[in-house]
Chain A
Amino acid sequence: MNANQIVPLQALAAAVPDGALLAVPKDSSGVAMAATRALVRRRVRGLHLLCVPTSGLQADLLIGAEAVATIETSAVTLGEFGAAPRFTAALRDGSLRILDSTCPAVYAALQAGEKGIPFIPLRGLIGSDVLRHRHDWKVLDNPFPPGDPIAVLPAIRPDLALFHAPLADRFGNVFVGRNRDLITMAHAAKHTLVTVEEITDDDLLQDAARAGAVLPSLYVTHVAVARRGAWPLALWDLYPDDEATLARYADAARSSDGFAQLLEEWLDAARAVA
Chain B
Amino acid sequence: MIDYSATELLVAVIARLLHGCRHVAVGAASPIPGAGALLARSLSGGEMRVTVLGSLKNNFFTSGGVELFDLAAEGRIDAFFLGGGQIDGQGNINLVGTGAYPASSVRWPGSFGSAYLYFLVPRVILFREEHTRRVMVPKVDFVSAPGVSEASVHRPGGPHALLTSLGLFSFDRDRRRFRLQSVHPGHSVDEIRDNTAFDFDCPADVPVTRPPEPGLLAAIRGEIRHEIAETYPRFAARLAGA
Binding site for B on A (CB under 8 A): 26, 28, 52-54, 73-77, 79-80, 83-84, 87-88, 91-94, 98, 100-105, 107-108, 111, 122-133, 147-150, 178-184, 237
Contact pick for B152, options A94, A103, A147, CB 8 Å: A147
Considering the complex, give the chain B residue whose CB is closest to the CB of A185: B64
Looking at the assembled complex, report how far the CB atom of A34 sits from the nearest CB atom of chain B, in whole angstroms.
23
Q: Is the CB of A181 within 8 A of B64?
A: yes
Q: Is the CB of A107 within 8 A of B110?
A: no
Q: Is the CB of B54 within 8 A of A129?
A: no
Measured in the bound complex, the distance between the Cα atoms of B129 and A101 in whole Å is 26
Please give the number of chain B residues whose Cβ is less than 8 angstroms from any Cβ of chain A in the complex. Answer: 44
- Report if B114 contacts A (CB, 8 A): yes
Q: Is the CB of A92 within 8 A of B143?
A: no
Measured in the bound complex, the distance between the Cα atoms of B114 and A108 in whole Å is 15
Chain A residues whose CB sits within 8 angstroms of the CB of B109 once the complex forms: 54, 75-77, 83-84
A-B contact pairs, 21 of them (CB 8 A): A26-B65, A54-B110, A74-B111, A74-B113, A75-B109, A84-B109, A91-B104, A92-B105, A94-B103, A102-B115, A103-B65, A103-B116, A107-B64, A107-B65, A124-B118, A126-B149, A126-B150, A127-B149, A127-B153, A181-B66, A237-B56
Looking at the assembled complex, report how far the CB atom of B34 sits from the nearest CB atom of chain A, in whole angstroms.
14
- Report if B112 contacts A (CB, 8 A): yes
Measured in the bound complex, the distance between the Cα atoms of B73 and A94 in whole Å is 36
- Report if B52 contacts A (CB, 8 A): no
Q: Is the CB of B144 within 8 A of A124?
A: no
Mask of B144-176 contacts with A, CB within 8 angstroms, 1/0: 111001101110000000000000000000000
Q: Is the interface of B mostly helix, strand, loop or mixed?
A: loop
Q: Is the CB of B102 within 8 A of A98?
A: yes
- Report if B107 contacts A (CB, 8 A): yes
Considering the complex, give the chain A residue whose CB is closest to the CB of B116: A124
Chain A residues whose CB sits within 8 angstroms of the CB of B108 once the complex forms: 83
Q: Is the interface of A mostly helix, strand, loop or mixed?
A: mixed
Measured in the bound complex, the distance between the Cα atoms of B63 and A105 in whole Å is 16
Q: Is the CB of B110 within 8 A of A127?
A: no
Q: Is the CB of A104 within 8 A of B152?
A: no
Given the known interface contacts A127-B150, A129-B96, A149-B152, the answer about A91 and B107 at a Cβ–Cβ threshold of 8 Å is yes
Measured in the bound complex, the distance between the Cα atoms of B154 and A122 in whole Å is 11
- Report if B142 contacts A (CB, 8 A): yes
- Report if B117 contacts A (CB, 8 A): yes
Measured in the bound complex, the distance between the Cα atoms of B63 and A183 in whole Å is 10
- Report if B4 contacts A (CB, 8 A): no
Which residues of B, 70-129, contact A by the 8 Å Cβ criterion?
Answer: 73, 95-96, 101-105, 107-120
Q: Is the CB of A105 within 8 A of B112?
A: no
Contact pick for B113, options A100, A102, A180, A181, CB 8 Å: A102
Q: Is the CB of B65 within 8 A of A53?
A: yes
Chain B residues whose CB sits within 8 angstroms of the CB of A178 once the complex forms: 61-62, 64
Chain B residues whose CB sits within 8 angstroms of the CB of A91 once the complex forms: 102-104, 107
Q: Is the CB of B65 within 8 A of A181?
A: yes
Q: Is the CB of B107 within 8 A of A92?
A: yes
Measured in the bound complex, the distance between the Cα atoms of B102 and A233 in whole Å is 28
Given the known interface contacts A84-B109, A107-B66, the answer about A130 and B115 at a Cβ–Cβ threshold of 8 Å is yes
Measured in the bound complex, the distance between the Cα atoms of B65 and A28 in whole Å is 10
